[in-house]
Amino acid sequence: MKTKWTRGIVIWLGAGIALVSAAGLAVVFLIVVPGCSGPESAAQTPTGKQSTSPVATSGSDQRVRVKVLRPTREQLQRQSAPHPATVGPYEKTDIFARIAGYLEVFGKIAGTDGKLRPVDIGDRVAKDQVLAKLSVPEMEQDRQQGFALVEQAQADVAQAEAFSNVAAAMLDAAKAKLDETGAQIARYEAEVTYRKSEYERFVTLVEERAVRGELKDEKLNLFRAAQASHAAAKAALVTEQANINVEQARLIKAEADVASAKARLKVAHANVEHTVIMLNYATIKAPYDGLITRRLVDTGAFIQSAATGKAEPLFTLARVDRLRIIADIPEAEASLVRLGQTATLLVNAARGQQLNGKVIRFADALDSGTRTMRTEVELDGPAMILRPGTFGSVTILLGDVPDALLLPTGALLPGSGKPAVLVVLDGKAHLREVELGLSEGGRVQVIRGVADNDQVIADGKTSVRDGEAVEVVP
């Protein structure tokens, strides 16, 4: 009996321990599984905030709690995306030699110690400042020879003009002699007429026996002498006319000699001027105020003429008092670029400082390879921190959009191929692909895809799938 009583006690004790263990497990299960707790405990997090995790409302119907927002309409400042930009000089010139020669000496410039030294890379030079001089001795000789030829041509001109003057004087003398001979002919013609009439009168007197016959013979001789003098004057007139023709030909030749000598003098002057001009090219000067960015030769080097097509530059000169900010604007924004638009340059050299300028020129045509438009910006003021070749980015203010539909960029679904959002319609989430426009300060313009009254999911969008039921919470 005692053994049976002891076995019964052990059985009852084991059952009691089993009941206690089952009750403990039930309590642990109720604590761990939120779905078995009350509605309020499921909706509240330990911090007292509402949770966006799925909530069982009745049976198997579950909704994801989300927060939504509506798009806003505001005036948006239209601004291009930052585009890579390069800072370039306003002008950049490779300086060549126009003639061949040996580099004799570099131009001088004051150094930091005040002493003159040869110009070199990094020096700022003024317009027409001497950069280098070439030695061209054979051209110096050509110039001296040219001066001698000019003097010779001047002497030839003087001699030809003297001969011309003599020929002109002789022609004038011949003309005077011709005029004198003509006057003599007229006088002789009058005397012939007089002597003829006198002779005829004496012939009549002799026939009337009024005078002696010897007087008639005397008058006949005087008449014949007058005729002979008249004939001689006529012959002299022909001779004088021939002399005039000769003197005229001589004068024409002398004048031609003068013209030829003057032409040779002009050629001699032109040759000298050409030689002087070419020698002036031996002195190489800066075409404008600028900065020497390269020096490629040394003293004594033989410099080829640029006319050969094989020459190398002596220097590279850059104008840096004004700079060109060059950017290639893509096709989507190229049509919005206008002259005078405000532009902002950001470069690493400026340590984050924004430099303002304006669009001053653009190509107004797209590059067929890159589909971009070359655009140039000039800064409003000089920026000494910038150097040609500096790289940065340019943003252009393209104007204002008066009524832009805006969403926070955080409302966009992350990781999707195309821009998209989730909107709530009839208690369900619906995926909408959107077309985006300009962006500004964490907001983005939506061109199409959502409307003003659409409820766009802002919080909880990563826990919702397209077509899934949702509950909008404040």
According to the model, what pLDDT value does residue 352 have? Answer: 66
Rounded average pLDDT over 51-66: 55
Report helix angle 137-207 to 213-280, nearest 10. Answer: 170
**What is the 8-class DSSP label of residue 97?**
-
List pLDDT tens digits, range 201-237: 888 887 877 777 788 788 888 888 888 888 888 888 8
Would residue 417 count as lying in a domain?
yes
pTM: 0.57
Would residue 119 count as lying in a domain?
yes
Is 121 in the same domain as 200?
A: no
For the CA atoms of 414, 416, 420, 425, the dihedral, rounded to the nearest 10 degrees, stands at -90
Q: Is the pLDDT of residue 416 over 70?
A: no
Q: What is the b/e burial string over 56-77, where b = at least 16 CB atoms within 10 angstroms of the residue's CB?
A: eeeeeeebbbbebeebeeeebe
Would residue 286 count as lying in a domain?
yes
Is 160 in the same domain as 249?
A: yes
According to the model, what pLDDT value does residue 61 have? Answer: 59
Residue 196: band (very low, low, confident or very high) from pLDDT cuts 50, 70, 90: confident
Q: Report the percentage of the chain scoring pLDDT > 70.
A: 86
List pLDDT tens digits, range 326-378: 999 999 889 889 999 999 998 876 666 788 999 999 999 999 999 999 999 99
Is 129 in the same domain as 191?
A: no
Give the domain extent around 159.
138-277
Pairing outcome for strands 354-362 and 372-379: antiparallel
Is 146 in the same domain as 127?
A: no
Is 130 in the same domain as 206?
A: no
List pLDDT tens digits, range 151-163: 999 999 999 999 8
Would residue 356 count as lying in a domain?
no
Last residue of a domain, one of 256, 291, 313: 313
According to the model, what pLDDT value does residue 319 have? Answer: 93
Q: Under a CB-based contact definition with an 8 Å cutoff, are residues 143 and 276 in contact?
A: yes
Is 143 in the same domain as 197?
A: yes
Q: Is the pLDDT of residue 107 over 50?
A: yes
Q: Which amino acid is at 444?
A: V
Rounded average pLDDT over 383-411: 85
Is 144 in the same domain as 126?
A: no
